[in-house]
Structure 1
Amino acid sequence: MKKWITGLAASSLLVLGLAGCGTSNDSASSDNDKLVVSASNVPHAEILEEAKPILKKKGIDLEIEVAQDYIIPNKALATKRVDANYFQHVPYLNSVLKDNPSYKFVSAGAIHVEPIGIYSKKYKSLKDLPQGGTVVMRDAVSEQGRILSIFEQQGVIKLKKGVDKVDAQIKDIVDNPKKLKFKANVEAGLLPQVYKNDQGDAVVINANYALDAGLDPVKDPIAVESTKDNPYANIITVRKGDENKKKIKELVAVLQSKEIKDFIKEKYKGAVLPVSK
């Protein structure tokens, strides 16, 4: 498994390198009627495509830059190549800001939630996982608490008493009767392939990558996180101060409108849920 994942990681780095070859001079348009947004392919870019004609009627020409990873959108925002990005939730953004003090980003508004799922080709529930089983996760500390909370809610592990579930990490597990091995060492976009190749007893996959890989995030997982009081809503991220710009406010308003909410509900059948605003 280690060799296989290493190969995948190398491929991912190559893609990242090629995708990041633009220069900071390719700044977003300052034209009042143009708005450039970097977004993940599914569902973010699809949702933006649905919003595009609505924004056009409001005099805003929306341009969408599709990103294949979670690094490029924030780099593009920092270098002013785009006006906003749409792919991350607040806990992830906070971790990015902690690691990159020069980034001055804020949320302009929450749009949707993608319930994260745990997949397995061998087992039908988390309680069926074997002694010493391996759980393959995304290589992001900001997601660990989110994932471990599912295992705790299912009674498979216990986390340290009093720990904030959003900030919880693998090291905060205090009871693990099955001695499960949580491996947070795979880039998010590669997790569907890890699952399809039956690597690991369980694989945790973000809904956007599951959809992009042809999986059903509602029917296929053996466990899915709760959406009640979920802090992981995907947001429109902008440079601090830009959240008050008219075209950013219009973008958020359209994405939070009934028309777009109905589109999300109909297209994604519960795999993606609009925020309840």
Structure 2
Amino acid sequence: VVEFSDYVTPNVSLAQGELFANSMQHAPYLAATLKKEPKFELVEAFKTVNFPMAIYSTKYKKVEDIPAGATIGIPNDPSNGARALLVLADKGFIEVKDKNDVSTSVASITKNPKNYKIQELDAASIPKAMGDLDIAVINANYALVAKLNPSKDSLLVERADNPFVNIFVTTKANEKDPRIEQLKKIYTSAENKKFIEDHFKGSITPAF
């Protein structure tokens, strides 16, 4: 197992044959990568886990208390920003052109009846900025670093059947390799599912 500190290098290394597979992204991120680098020829092997995005607040205990004109912090990168906007649309804060469009942006908002102010921030910095925000839409990995559990500390959690569940990725050349099937069998076993549920207690959930 090789660990990386960014989200770009793992796909580059995989495409160059330095890795057999990787587990660090969701399907929309992979699609965006392949749109930029079609020569990579990477494919989804199987689904792994869901890091549920959630809505948090240090100012309000209930959704009903959030006032009109409230400032909402969301990630400023296209992939996670779209995900946050789709969560807000799904929960009724705003309306967007297409609630299934993973390329949704602030420009896609069609209705904002309570005039919420959408503030785009670096995803990693949002937990630290919560004191300046009314509510914040935070990725699970950054929430966990800030000791926030999506299932316990949030006002609302992203629905489980969202398109942003994490996936195992390999090259098109290795797609039929029997080791991929072996990895899938081990990863999606009942034993591993129970471990994820028991160990992460709702902060990370199985997507298989």
Category of TM-score, reference length = shorter chain? 0.7 to 0.9
| Structure 1 SS opposite 2:48 | strand
- Aligned residue number for residue 100 of structure 2: 164
Q: Distance in 1 between matches of 2:178 and 2:64?
A: 50
- After superposition, the Cα gap between the structure-2 partners of 1:125 and 1:96, relative to the gap in structure 1 and judged at 3 Å, is farther
| Structure 2 SS opposite 1:219 | helix
Q: Structure 1, residues 165-190: CA drift from partner, whole Å, max 9, x if none?
A: 4333221111112222223341x333
Alignment of 1:142-153 (within 5 A): 142-153=79-90
- Aligned residue number for residue 239 of structure 1: 171
Shift, 1:72, TM fit: 2.9
- Aligned residue number for residue 18 of structure 1: none
- Aligned residue number for residue 209 of structure 1: 142
- Aligned residue number for residue 124 of structure 1: 61
| Structure 1 SS opposite 2:40 | coil
- Aligned residue number for residue 126 of structure 2: 191
Shift, 1:121, TM fit: 0.9
Unaligned runs of 5+ in 2: none
Between 146-155 and 86-95, report the one with greater CA deviation. 146-155
| Structure 2 SS opposite 1:86 | strand
- Aligned residue number for residue 230 of structure 1: 162
1:110 aligns with 2:47: yes
> C-alpha root-mean-square deviation of aligned residues, in Å?
2.2
| Structure 1 SS opposite 2:38 | coil
- Aligned residue number for residue 70 of structure 1: 7
Aligned amino acid, residue 164 of structure 1: N
- After superposition, the Cα gap between the structure-2 partners of 1:194 and 1:83, relative to the gap in structure 1 and judged at 3 Å, is farther
| Structure 2 SS opposite 1:209 | helix
Shift, 1:85, TM fit: 1.4
Between 127-136 and 242-251, report the one with greater CA deviation. 127-136
Q: Distance in 2 between matches of 1:101 and 1:114?
A: 27
| Structure 2 SS opposite 1:218 | helix
**Kept after mapping to 1: 8 A contact 2:73/2:118:** yes
With structure 2 as the length reference, what TM-score do the two structures score? 0.87
| Structure 2 SS opposite 1:267 | helix
Computing the radius of gyration over CA atoms, which structure comes out larger, 1 or 2? 1
With structure 1 as the length reference, what TM-score do the two structures score? 0.67
Unaligned runs of 5+ in 1: 1-63
- Aligned residue number for residue 21 of structure 2: 84
| % same residue | 37
**Kept after mapping to 2: 8 A contact 1:243/1:249:** no
Aligned amino acid, residue 230 of structure 1: N
Shift, 1:257, TM fit: 0.8
